[in-house]
Amino acid sequence: MIVKEFLNKAVSRRGFLGSAGAGAAGLAAAGLGFQQADAAPLEPPANWDYEADVVVIGYGGAGTCAAIEAAEAGASVLAIEKTTTAGGNTSHSGGIVYLGGGTPLQKMHGFDDTPENMYNYLVAQMGPTADKNRIQIYSEQSVGHYDWLTQRGVVFGQKFWEGKVVQPPSEEGGLSFSGNEANSPYSEIAIPMPRGHMPAGAGAQVYAPLKATADKLPIQTIYNTQGERLVVDKSGAVVGIQVRSGIPDPGVPNATPVALSGEIFVKANKGVILTTGGFQFNPEMLAQYAPWYLSAFPLGGPSQVDDGSGIKMGQSVGAALYDLSFASPWKFVYAPGEMCKCILVDQVGARFVGESRYGQDVGDLIIRRNGGVAWQIFDTPTYEAAKAAGGFFSEPVGTADTVEELAASINVDPAILANTVSFYNEQAKQGKDPLFLKHEEFLTPLETGPFLAFDFGVSTGIAFITLGGLRCTENAEVINSFGEIIPGLYSAGKTAPGINPEYYVSGSAVGDGTFWGRAAGRAAAAAASR
Amino acid sequence: MIVKEFLNKAVSRRGFLGSAGAGAAGLAAAGLGFQQADAAPLEPPANWDYEADVVVIGYGGAGTCAAIEAAEAGASVLAIEKTTTAGGNTSHSGGIVYLGGGTPLQKMHGFDDTPENMYNYLVAQMGPTADKNRIQIYSEQSVGHYDWLTQRGVVFGQKFWEGKVVQPPSEEGGLSFSGNEANSPYSEIAIPMPRGHMPAGAGAQVYAPLKATADKLPIQTIYNTQGERLVVDKSGAVVGIQVRSGIPDPGVPNATPVALSGEIFVKANKGVILTTGGFQFNPEMLAQYAPWYLSAFPLGGPSQVDDGSGIKMGQSVGAALYDLSFASPWKFVYAPGEMCKCILVDQVGARFVGESRYGQDVGDLIIRRNGGVAWQIFDTPTYEAAKAAGGFFSEPVGTADTVEELAASINVDPAILANTVSFYNEQAKQGKDPLFLKHEEFLTPLETGPFLAFDFGVSTGIAFITLGGLRCTENAEVINSFGEIIPGLYSAGKTAPGINPEYYVSGSAVGDGTFWGRAAGRAAAAAASR
């Protein structure tokens, strides 16, 4: 999901918004007339302004797949998007889709994956709060989802990228190991299989074919319009939504012109589908639910999305939640893999993670365990090798002939750092890392000075998305805290994580969002009209 | 909050219930006619069975304090309790009440605590999701709460217990350091002050005077009756509750006889106060929200309480939540303090915590970081010293002349264990522990064999309570996800943590529950009648 360019963009945007205050960004938002949704559900109004069988709120990857399936099943569909652009996070993402169980692309490269093998990895990886039933369905239907996507025009790059890559180059795409599949202990639990499927052109080329598919279907779209409050009837069923439009006609091609501005009531005969993403761009929700990540950079599609509005609307009608404290804060050591020959140390000079682990493991420990602090330590040969392989280096914060001397430059305990390096070296010479199980490929002793230290803490950039959200059935029906379905309400994408409420591997957001978006569209279309 | 006897009881109970299945315990529950609440809120019925200004659900420490304040303010009060006994967790607890800011007992022993000093410690300790405003109010009004409790008959033991005690002896009570106050880094953030206030007779003697106070007030009590669904009017206000009674007359002294069994509708003119504790005795909720702790022992008052029903009823009307994944799983190294001279190592043989840290830190790392594994390592002199001081030891799982040999008996990496011990010894000789900041008092090198290893993992007993619950205002009014007050609904105790939604120190549950229970009672009594 992350490419360097994208990360840089996220960093710039944060910087911009951070400094803008009530300036340009603030005014732009105000000009659109948006305000934070701030109230409980409403009773049905005397008059509805719009009506459709299925109303989709948030027209990104999940919402578009929901709209496609609902429209293909014969339902009338109205999709409402807050920004002037469809695509959301999917079109801005790195474009990896997490698929497996024996896809044609896996088979082409001789990877004999099975749904069971994929399930075993995901259950071990995704943490104990993830829904095993939904992981099973996702694994079993993953080849089918691959087919569905490719039949609608998604073209995955055909090359396999061996070893440690954050992701394949944007211009080529292809297949890669996009999680911890090859890292112990996962490599002993399930046969390591690459499951990151990426088209050339990254996320834009996952989304463009889906949008083209949707555009051929009778799907009404309204842009510049924000979901605010659900409308609930006396039985507790969701029968519509009150939205707020900023600009009557934003001039988006194929969009339904909105004659009204301000509060608009939209009737949903069969269901409302919430696909508004996570809440990483809502600092107030972050402060409440996931304050650890306020020091990191929110990552996502056009700014102002991922505002938590879908999650809050779900909560307002009693939806059960996955913990909102979970996020995926990425800090990748590799790119190229040779970078993993460094060791990472914490605020006192001790190692805290296997350096070849997936970026979420590294980033989360830096933020939640180390208070934001981490340092990369190289000796001269590993530094030169990483540089020769194309590794990117900022200026070192310290260079010294001995490890003890290096400690002073990064304010860690010299005795701890010396012990950390010497114990690591002893073990690396035997080809093992019993402390953190770093992949043996990168176990090179750090023995030849000068030694170099690089800042790898949160201030050097850790991007994140939130993971928690609404709990749903396997049909993407939102459930309440008693496990009962809330009639008329569906959700998918980061508003309602299917397989990844607690942990994430690259491609799981786009994979999960498009997959359960489709499920939501089918289920809503099949519901009885109210 | 924990004494050894209590822990043993919890362990036995779990064993009993675990083996009973559909046997004695199952039948007893079935005989009472209870079922898990399993539905959304109800509309007002045509006829109400009971009516009061303030209806309290769950008659433990928080609920009783709520009832007292509401009755003293002139409201009619009906308190409904699921079991046949009042007192809940408070009366079964170790009896520590976390109070400070300059209480008479602190002053008597020369501890010059202030509300600001107490606030500084609690903000640093309680984690970033805790509500700083409520911590401030709790700190500022802590002396007042001490006075309120003692004026109503709570008699705190007068002795100060120096050093590391899990808690004072039950027969004496007294003042002790009940959290991490004296541990670095907290000891640098705030002047360490003992704030654990405990009466002789433990929790029973916190609760008995409160119950005696309540019994003199016009508070109706109904036992054997379980809150099931909130009743909500058209405006979204909570106007009552549907409860279910098992035994028409359980024969509890002073209890209001219940003429009905089955579904009973109780009208609350001013408000419903939910004080049903946490959810550690609800395995289904644990599996959903906090699966890590299924391996530990749920701790609490009479079994069947802490069933999560209050949290679920709150959720059903859109209450905002603190993360339900947080719990306080206690594993105390000390008792006596000399036990802290051991080191604790994880599943590969590395240290992972300062051994003098509060039990929640140790227990949570064992469960969530180490997969349940931990070992205590002593050398012969530290073992003998701990034994002489009254330390309790089971059989060692390994004894060996060298640390490397000891490693085999506990299946950890011998090189890691040897490095762990030798680095610890080097630093301990200099009187420091730069890795984990263990208190210097316990830094004794482990050098003289035979070395001994004791199992300290989750299977040797880690007791826990859940921490997460409903979010409230400073007046204990439950709020929804938009920050709005849900009219007519109040909560306190572990159903709605005030200062400890994420972290816990001993005494904070009884202190927090009684304090915000009082706030709930006052606020509900002051509300306009509906």
Adjacent-strand bridge partners of B42: B231
Q: Considering only CA atoms, give the Rg of chain A.
A: 24
Residue B447's φ and ψ, nearest 5 degrees, are -125, -20
For A480, counting Cβ atoms within 10 Å of its Cβ (0-12 exposed, 13-18 middle, 19+ buried), the class is buried
H runs (alpha helix) in B458-527: 508-526
Q: Residue B334 has what pLDDT?
A: 85
* A27: Cβ contacts below 8 Å, ≥ 6 apart: none
Lowest mean pLDDT, pick from B96-100, B166-170, B271-275, B328-332 = B166-170
Residue in A37, A325, A348 nearest the CB of B325: A325
**Distance between CA atoms of A338 and A351, rounded to whole angstroms?**
18
* B458: Cβ contacts below 8 Å, ≥ 6 apart: B295, B296, B366, B367, B372, B373
Residue in B37, B423, B482 nearest the CB of A40: B482
Question: Which chain A residues touch B423 with a CB distance below 8 Å?
Answer: 415-416, 419
Q: Give just the sign of the alpha carbon dihedral A509, A510, A512, A513.
A: positive
Q: Residue A24 has what pLDDT?
A: 28
**Distance between CA atoms of A427 and A445, rounded to whole angstroms?**
8
Instruction: Please provide the distance, in angstroms rounded to a whole number, between the alpha carbons at the two ends of chain A.
Output: 39
B 112-151 residues inside an 8 A Cβ radius of A: 128-129
Per-residue pLDDT of chain A (530 residues; tens, 9 = 90+): 222 332 233 222 222 222 222 222 222 232 233 333 355 788 999 999 999 999 999 999 999 999 999 999 999 999 999 988 899 999 999 999 999 999 999 999 999 999 999 999 999 999 999 999 999 999 999 999 999 999 999 999 999 999 878 889 999 999 999 999 998 899 999 999 999 999 999 999 999 999 999 999 999 999 989 999 999 998 889 999 999 987 555 556 666 666 566 789 999 999 999 999 999 999 999 999 999 999 999 998 776 689 999 999 999 898 999 999 999 999 999 888 899 999 999 999 999 999 999 999 999 999 999 999 999 999 999 999 999 999 988 999 999 999 999 999 999 999 999 999 999 999 999 999 999 999 999 999 999 999 999 999 999 999 999 999 999 999 999 999 888 999 999 999 999 999 999 999 999 999 999 999 999 999 999 999 98
pLDDT digits 0-9 by tens, B91-134 = 999 999 999 999 999 999 999 999 999 999 999 999 999 999 99
Give this prediction's pTM: 0.88
Secondary structure class of A494 (helix, strand, coil): helix
| Closest to A222 in 3D by CA, of A118, A78, A372 | A78
Q: What is the DSSP letter of A199?
A: B
**Distance between CA atoms of A303 and A291, rounded to whole angstroms?**
20
- Please indicate if any CB of chain A lies within 8 Å of the CB of B423: yes
Q: Are B430 and B444 in contact (CB under 8 A)?
A: no
User: Residue A484 to residues A320, A480, B38, B320: CA-CA distances in angstroms?
Assistant: 10, 5, 8, 18
Query: What would the mean pLDDT of B81-99 be, rounded to a whole number?
Result: 94
Residue of A232, A370, A482, A495 to mutate, testing the B interface (most B Cβ within 10 Å of its Cβ):
A482
- Please indicate if any CB of chain B lies within 8 Å of the CB of A292: yes
pLDDT digits 0-9 by tens, B215-245 = 999 999 999 899 999 999 988 899 999 999 8
Around Cβ A432, how many Cβ atoms within 10 Å?
A: 15
Six token digits for residue B117: 């000093």
AA letter at A143: V
- Please indicate if any CB of chain A lies within 8 Å of the CB of B184: no
**Distance between CA atoms of A272 and A21, rounded to whole angstroms?**
34
Cβ within 8 Å, pair B234-A43: yes
Residue of A232, A411, A481, A485 to mutate, testing the B interface (most B Cβ within 10 Å of its Cβ):
A481
| Closest to B498 in 3D by CA, of B6, B66, B86, B55 | B66
**Distance between CA atoms of A244 and A232, rounded to whole angstroms?**
17
Six token digits for residue B458: 């989750």
Q: B454: part of which helix (H) or strand (E)? A: strand B451-455
- DSSP states along A84-127: SSSBHHHHHS---EE--SS-HHHHHTT----HHHHHHHHHHHH-
- Please indicate if any CB of chain A lies within 8 Å of the CB of B186: no
Length in residues, chain A:
530
Lowest mean pLDDT, pick from A49-53, A334-338, B46-50, B475-479 = A334-338
- Count how many Cα atoms sit within 13 Å of the Cα of residue A47 in the half-sphere of its side chain: 3
**Distance between CA atoms of A30 and A22, rounded to whole angstroms?**
9
Task: Search chain A and give the residue with CA nearest B312.
Answer: A481
Six token digits for residue B522: 């006052």
- Please indicate if any CB of chain B lies within 8 Å of the CB of A223: no
Q: Residue A164 has what pLDDT?
A: 79
Dihedral of CA atoms A228, A232, A237, A238 in degrees, nearest 10, equals -20
- Closest-CA distance, B310 to chain A, in angstroms, reads 11
Around Cβ B300, how many Cβ atoms within 10 Å?
A: 26
Q: Is the pLDDT of residue B151 over 70?
A: yes
Lowest mean pLDDT, pick from A130-144, A291-305, B264-278, B481-495 = A291-305
Q: Residue A184 has what pLDDT?
A: 87
H runs (alpha helix) in A300-355: 309-316
Phi-psi category of A50—alpha, beta or left, where left has phi over 0 and alpha has psi -120 to 50?
beta
Cβ within 8 Å, pair B318-A323: no
E-state strands within B163-277: 174-176, 196-198, 219-222, 225-232, 238-245, 262-274
Cβ within 8 Å, pair B38-A484: yes
| Closest to B446 in 3D by CA, of B400, B415, B395, B411 | B400
Secondary structure class of A399 (helix, strand, coil): strand
Q: Residue A3 has what pLDDT?
A: 28
- Please indicate if any CB of chain A lies within 8 Å of the CB of B18: no
- Closest-CA distance, A348 to chain B, in angstroms, reads 7
**Distance between CA atoms of B34 and B85, rounded to whole angstroms?**
16
Task: Search chain A and give the residue with CA nearest B36.
Answer: A482
Cβ within 8 Å, pair B129-A291: yes
User: Residue A255 to residues A59, A396, B34, B355, B379: CA-CA distances in angstroms?
Assistant: 12, 51, 54, 63, 76
Q: Residue A20 has what pLDDT?
A: 28
Q: Residue B398 has what pLDDT?
A: 96
**Distance between CA atoms of A185 and A121, rounded to whole angstroms?**
10
H runs (alpha helix) in A216-348: 283-289, 309-316
Q: Residue B257 has what pLDDT?
A: 64
Task: Search chain B and give the residue with CA nearest A236.
Answer: B40
Q: A416: part of which helix (H) or strand (E)? A: helix A414-429
Q: Residue A255 has what pLDDT?
A: 67
